[in-house]
Structure 1
């Protein structure tokens, strides 16, 4: 059975190639003082070459005094009807799936490919790292914040031919609302960040800061745009950063499509 994966707005780390989804959940029934979580995960994006059988992810406890426990799971990541979906998979394995970190400790977690690499298109997965609540803590007077990291994993296909994304963006109008629709006809994912619109007069309008989202190979994603649809009807252009590249790229719209 599929598990729906909620999309989180998070800061983009480092050179923007790394991203992880972070959720903070407060345990009910606790009062006043907040206890900060200390679980850290690196890297925040994993790429597995066809010639590689595994990669490493490090879990760290930045609190020198308090132990941390975490559960590590791995899911196949796909997109359907503009939504991210996670499903159980045996294509990759995680070892170990449960981690207990003493204060200041680090633990290596292996991502292991259990089958052959894909043939012509990359496949995508997500590592979900959940901090496990501490049920033995003596101090129950504070709020305990639990971290969740969602780390993208991309397995590249076999063969020497390079693969890349191939984006086909268009605008859709519904009354005065505008939606940017981006299809990816290539064999590689596209991570979009820092979406802006430059109007015909050269004025720049920041639309979506930081991580906008991913478009996986063969999929189409949609993002509602701020402001009225009339703003985007003057022949301007959309600018975006793709896959952590420093230079912005222009999205060449098919303005005939509605």
Structure 2
């Protein structure tokens, strides 16, 4: 039975997205910036975009929910080779003192167009975002 499972072909989707920039610094009490997401594959991609609070020097997975920074749109469907420019805005009224850091999380969600035996992967890009005074 194990040999039958090992012999069963399983495909992994190679669809991808590209994100730029890969590190965002917003100087001089700036309040907004942009992130570009491009679908690099031959199929449409659904992406979810979020911003979470993060402390530099800590594990990039050690994040917390925040409403101090928002991203728009929070979700989009991209056609092959389509590019999306998402707007990131700091909504917190209190001025930045020193440095305030976050992570922009961009998830490529698995599509329904894959066949039943494909391995469906969620791909995450985690981009550091820091506002400075």
Bigger RCO (CA 8 Å, 6+ sep) = 2
What's the C-alpha RMSD, in Å, of the aligned pairs?
Answer: 2.2
- Alignment partner of 1:151 out of 104, 127, 130: 127
Structure 2, gaps ≥5 residues long: 1-7
Q: Secondary structure at the match of 1:124?
A: strand
Instruction: State the partner residue of 2:43.
Output: 66
Q: Check whether the contact 1:126–1:152 (CA below 8 A) recurs between aligned residues.
A: yes
Structure 1, gaps ≥5 residues long: 1-29, 158-258
Q: Distance in 1 between matches of 2:49 and 2:18?
A: 13
Q: Distance in 1 between matches of 2:33 and 2:95?
A: 14
Q: Check whether the contact 1:36–1:144 (CA below 8 A) recurs between aligned residues.
A: no
Scaled by the length of structure 1, what TM-score is found?
Answer: 0.44
Instruction: State the partner residue of 1:57.
Output: 35
Q: Distance in 2 between matches of 1:51 and 1:79?
A: 18
The structure whose Rg is larger is 1
- Alignment partner of 1:40 out of 15, 18, 26: 18
How far 1:42 moved relative to its partner?
A: 0.7
Match status 1:89 vs 2:70: no
Aligned ranges 1:72-83 → 2 under 5 Å: 72-78=49-55, 83=59
Aligned ranges 1:163-202 → 2 under 5 Å: none
Scaled by the length of structure 2, what TM-score is found?
Answer: 0.81
Aligned ranges 1:1-258 → 2 under 5 Å: 31-63=9-41, 65-78=42-55, 83=59, 85-115=62-92, 116-119=94-97, 121-135=98-112, 137=113, 139-157=115-133
Q: Distance in 1 between matches of 2:9 and 2:105?
A: 28
Per the alignment, do residues 49 and 69 of structure 1 end up closer, same or farther by CA in structure 2, a change over 3 Å counting?
same
* Cα deviations by residue, 1:11-44 (Å, 9 ceiling, x for unpaired): xxxxxxxxxxxxxxxxxxx952222021111111
Q: Secondary structure at the match of 2:95?
A: coil
Instruction: State the partner residue of 2:4.
Output: none
Q: Distance in 2 between matches of 1:88 and 1:146?
A: 20
Q: Check whether the contact 2:16–2:108 (CA below 8 A) recurs between aligned residues.
A: no
